[in-house]
Amino acid sequence: MSYLDKVVERRDAVKAEMDAVLEAVAAENRTDLTAEETEKVDALVEESRSLDTKIEKLTAQAAADAKAAEARSVVADALPKATTSIVREARTYTPEAGNSFVRDAFNAQVRGDFAAQERLARHMKEESVERRDVDTSNFAGLVVPQYLVDLAAPLARAGRPTADFATNKMALPAAGMSLEISRMTTGTSTAIQETQNTAVSETDADDTLLSVPVRTIAGQQDLSRQAIERGTGIDAFVIADLIRSWHTTLDSQVLNGTGSNGQFKGIRASGGNAITFTATTPTVALLYPKLADALQQVQSNVFTTPTHWIMHPRRLAFLLAATDTAGRPVVVPTAGGPMNAVSTGAGVAQYANSGYQLLGLPIITDANVATNYGAATNQDEIYLVDAREMHLWEQPGAPFSLRFDATAPGSLTIKTVVYGFSAFTAERYPKAASIISGTGLVAPSF
């Protein structure tokens, strides 16, 4: 049913209501209407007049549309018939497109370029369809094109393996600079009732508030107007590297953040089970009992089973290079039919998942694990974590917000800023992580 049909239908209904009122008055042989009837009839008359006006306008428009359609049909019949084909419309910003996202963002903001504004608006509509799980209204600025984000895969940088594999990830709330979590520090109690009618065990529960601050990770780069307006691929190169750096910094903070000076309070600073591996000449055989100790301490202190080992790639290489007294490797691929092996694995790495496991748990290699610990600044550490207790909140879409400021207009300099908000804690149950450190984890030699 068209809109005009609905208006006409309502006009008929109004007339029927008005007729019903007047017929009731006539049936009672009255010449005057009551106050209520008068108010109702007046309202119906007013609505009837409004509907009549709409019907008149819509009817005139329908007639004009019909004439226009007839004219188009005459013209179409006079033109040669074209073959109809269906094509796939390319996205506004792709590596193959002639449009530069950064150049358009600059021209739209600084120069008021309407064509650039139109392309950016079209791109934002494309993103609203593509990113169904995250509405683009959540983003503080423009959404970076996906092909630029794809370029931000961890190539030359260490990336974010721990943040991706070993954290309980959540969306950061839309407002606020801290997250508050209640931690029960004193629990209730139960005990055997010694005799009937005697008091049963009672302990008052108590909690402590865990405050998790929201942190800002940001980076900037000054670009000349010449680079933006005349360069080829420079804008994509700069944004891709800023994004790679942002993710690498976040991952490093999850591991190494001190909790002060605007940093996360990372895994190693959160008070996990401390295990010291001391050895003048480290071997896998000497390390192995420490690994078992790390596992049992998590199970004994928080009554859960950890999920991941996190270590620097050089520490996995230390395991892989180890041999027994007969010269046989102690870490072997599963396909090799291992017997009494310290560690096993397929030996095929996927991103930072090494493909190996230790004591039945997967090994995540992360080059963001620091290698400058200890008095000689040459030690790394091994972390055993329960991923369910590594809580990471990220701003939806971060770090997909950027802006451009003419910081030095006299020098034709434009500042590009990439930033995002996030928060992390491993302090809900700190003992859900074990941290192995010490002189036995100095840089291995091969």
User: For residues 293 and 222, which has the higher predicted lDDT (pLDDT)?
Assistant: 293
Q: Which residues contact 164 (CB under 8 A, 6 or more apart)?
A: 351, 352
Which CATH number is correct for 3-66, 1.10.8, 1.10.3470, 3.30.310, 1.20.58? 1.20.58
- Which residues make up the CATH 3.30.2400.10 domain(s) of the chain? 158-183+207-446
Residue with tokens 């748990």: 361
Per the document, the length of the chain is 446
Phi, psi of 402 (to 5 degrees): -150, 160
Q: Which of 171-180, 309-318, 329-338, 374-383 has the lowest mean pLDDT?
A: 329-338
User: What CATH homologous superfamily does 158-183+207-446 map to?
Assistant: Major capsid protein gp5 (3.30.2400.10)
pLDDT band at 155 (very low <50, low <70, confident <90, very high): very low
pLDDT band at 340 (very low <50, low <70, confident <90, very high): low
- Which residues make up the CATH 1.20.58 domain(s) of the chain? 3-66
Task: Give the DSSP H or E segment for 223.
Answer: strand 215-224
Q: Which residues pair with 277 in a beta bridge?
A: none
pLDDT band at 338 (very low <50, low <70, confident <90, very high): low
Distance from C-alpha of 136 to C-alpha of 130, rounded to nearest angstrom: 10
Contact criterion met (CB below 8 Å) for 244 and 155: yes
- Looking at the chain, the whole-number percentage of residues with pLDDT higher than 70 is 78
| 358's tokens | 């230790």
Q: Please give the pLDDT value at position 21.
A: 79
Helix, strand, coil content of the chain in percent (nearest 5): 40, 20, 35
